[in-house]
């Protein structure tokens, strides 16, 4: 009689973590190599086939969420260069969805213990948390608009805090719309830097950064005045 082979059971939890482990491995290799990614690098290593190019861009966006060396704006600008504007907006929207979803699900798998560690490391998150008490959707939206913390840290927290994914992804994507639009249009018009569209897109991107800081400053001032009134 032939010996009976024992069946190897792979834990379901491990299977759920496998995609993220692969992404983490790729991110580790990238960081150890000391590389950084520019728009030109993305274009050089992206396949000519439009479908494959879109898939690679979306995968790179997932990887970007795990390493600071991948600027999301560079990926969105590259999308604007590679595709016609309507297709670029669609691909870039999917790329941003992948970028903010990956750390969310990692945070969700990590559990509630991660919340305390994030608060210890990033106390400013406590200032935003009061928006969560009002509405998860609005909290997800305002966290992207204000932008006082790294995007991926916010995503990790929201996953660990088990904010419903539907509210998280819709609010987060709505908050990212201005960045998607302006970055895509920069890529679309980058071959003609003197064009009104390029100048408008670059100026709008700068204004977004300044505006987000202004919104946070005004909100902080209003909060301090409210606290002084109550004290």
Residue 26 in domain? no
Q: How far is CA 127 from the centre of its chain?
A: 20
| pTM (2 d.p.) | 0.73
Residue 16 in domain? no
Residue 69 in domain? yes
- For residue range 64-78, list pLDDT tens digits in order: 776 655 678 888 999
- For residue range 121-145, list pLDDT tens digits in order: 877 776 666 666 667 888 888 888 7
CA–CA dist 142, 100 (Å, integer): 14
- Token pair for 224: 């301090």
Residue 182 in domain? yes
State which of 95-99, 105-109, 225-229 shows the largest mean pLDDT: 95-99
Residue 18 in domain? no
**pLDDT number for residue 192:** 80
How far, CA to CA in Å, does 161 sit from each of 110, 120, 139, 168? Answer: 10, 15, 12, 11
Is 172:116 a contact under the CB 8 Å cutoff? Answer: no
Residue 29 in domain? no
Determine the number of helices (DSSP H) and then strands (DSSP E) in the chain.
11, 0
As for how many domains the chain has, the answer is 1
CB neighbourhood size of 77 (10 A)? 27
- Token pair for 179: 């960045």
Residue 197 in domain? yes
Residue 19 in domain? no
Residues 6+ positions from 151 with CB-CB distance below 8 Å: 65, 72, 99, 100, 144
What is the rounded average pLDDT for all residues in the chain? 75
Find the domain containing 60 and state its range.
35-230
């Amino acid at each position: 009689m032939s010996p009976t082979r024992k069946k190897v059971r792979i834990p379901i939890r491990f299977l759920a973590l496998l995609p993220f482990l692969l992404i983490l491995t790729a991110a580790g290799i990238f960081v150890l190599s000391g590389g950084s990614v520019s728009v030109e690098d993305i274009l050089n290593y992206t396949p000519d086939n439009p479908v494959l190019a879109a898939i690679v861009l979306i995968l790179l966006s997932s990887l970007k969420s795990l390493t600071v060396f991948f600027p999301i704006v560079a990926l969105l600008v590259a999308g604007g260069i590679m595709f016609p504007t309507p297709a670029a907006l669609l691909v870039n929207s999917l790329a941003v969805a992948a970028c903010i979803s990956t750390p969310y699900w990692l945070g969700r798998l990590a559990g509630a213990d991660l919340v305390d560690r994030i608060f210890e490391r990033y106390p400013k998150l406590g200032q935003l948390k009061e928006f969560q008490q009002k509405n998860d959707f609005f909290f997800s939206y305002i966290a992207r608009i204000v932008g006082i913390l790294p995007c991926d840290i916010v995503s990790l927290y929201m996953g660990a805090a088990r904010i419903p994914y539907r509210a998280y992804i819709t609010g987060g994507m709505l908050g990212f719309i201005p960045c998607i639009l302006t970055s895509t249009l920069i890529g679309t018009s980058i071959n003609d830097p003197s064009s009104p569209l390029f100048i408008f897109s670059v100026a709008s991107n700068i204004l977004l950064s300044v505006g987000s800081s202004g919104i946070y400053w005004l909100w902080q001032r209003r909060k301090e005045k409210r606290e002084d009134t109550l004290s």
